[in-house]
Amino acid sequence: MTFNSIEFVWFFIVVLAVFWSLTKRDTLRIALTLVASYYFYVSNNFWLIYLLLITTQVDYFAGILIDRENDPRRRKFVLVVSIILNLGLLAYYKYFNFVGNSIEQAAALVGWQLSWVDRNIILPVGISFYTFESMSYTIDVYRREMRAEKSWLRYSLFVAYFPHLVAGPIIRASELLHQFRRKPRLDAASVDWALATIAMGFVKKVVCGDYLAGYADKLFTDPMAHGTLGAWLGIYCFAFQIYFDFSGYSDIAIGLAKLMNFDLPQNFRRPYIARGFTDFWRRWHMTLSRWLRDYLYRPLGGNRHGTWMTCRNLLITMLLGGLWHGAAWHFIIWGLMHGVMLAVERFGNTDRRTEVAPGGMGDLARRLIFFHLVCLSWVAFRTGDLNNMGQVYGSLFRMQGDPAWTWGAVVAFSFVVLGWLAQYLDERRSLMDGFLRWPMWLRSAVYAACVGAIAVFGASAAKPFIYFQF
Is residue 145 located within the same domain as residue 261? no
Residue 132 lies in a domain: yes
pLDDT over threshold 90, residue 398:
no
pLDDT over threshold 80, residue 45:
no
Return d(Cα 308, Cα 98) in angstroms, integer: 31
Return d(Cα 372, Cα 57) in angstroms, integer: 45
Residue 392 lies in a domain: yes
The domain tally of the chain equals 2
Which of 143, 167, 183 is a domain's end point? 183
- Residue 221: what pLDDT? 87
Which whole-number Å values give the CA distances from 366 to 48, 344, 363, in the listed order?
Answer: 46, 16, 5
- Residue 32: what pLDDT? 95
Residue 48 lies in a domain: yes
- Residue 107: what pLDDT? 76
pLDDT over threshold 70, residue 340:
yes
Is residue 36 located within the same domain as residue 71? yes
Is residue 144 located within the same domain as residue 257? no
CB-based contact 260:164 (threshold 8 Å)? no
Return d(Cα 136, Cα 152) in angstroms, integer: 17
Is residue 14 located within the same domain as residue 127? yes
Which of 167, 183, 199 is a domain's end point? 183
Instruction: Write out pLDDT tens, residues 277-287.
Output: 999 999 999 99
Residue 309 lies in a domain: no
Range of the domain at 420: 189-275+356-469
Is residue 377 located within the same domain as residue 257? yes
Which of 126, 153, 183 is a domain's end point? 183
Q: Residue 417: left if φ>0, alpha if ψ -120 to 50, beta else—which one? A: alpha
To 5 degrees, how large is the angle CA 66–CA 68–CA 73? 50
Question: Quick one: 37 exposed, middle or buried, by C-beta within 10 A (0-12, 13-18, 19+)?
Answer: buried
Residue 299 lies in a domain: no
Per-residue confidence band for 317, with pLDDT thresholds at 50, 70 and 90: very high
Instruction: Write out pLDDT tens, residues 170-217.
Output: 999 999 999 999 888 888 899 999 999 999 999 999 999 999 998 899
Q: Which residues are catalytic?
A: 325
Please state the pTM of the whole predicted model. 0.92
Is residue 142 located within the same domain as residue 59? yes
Residue 33: Cβ within 10 Å count = 22
Is residue 210 located within the same domain as residue 70? no
Return d(Cα 337, Cα 373) in angstroms, integer: 10
Is residue 369 located within the same domain as residue 428? yes
- Residue 119: what pLDDT? 63
The arithmetic mean of pLDDT across residues 8-34, rounded, is 93
Residue 89 lies in a domain: yes
- Residue 454: what pLDDT? 85
CB-based contact 4:202 (threshold 8 Å)? yes
Is residue 76 located within the same domain as residue 135? yes
pLDDT over threshold 60, residue 353:
no
Q: Any residues with CB less than 8 A from the CB of 240 and at least 6 apart, and which?
A: 208, 209, 212, 272, 415, 416, 419, 420
| Integer-rounded Cα radius of gyration of the chain | 23
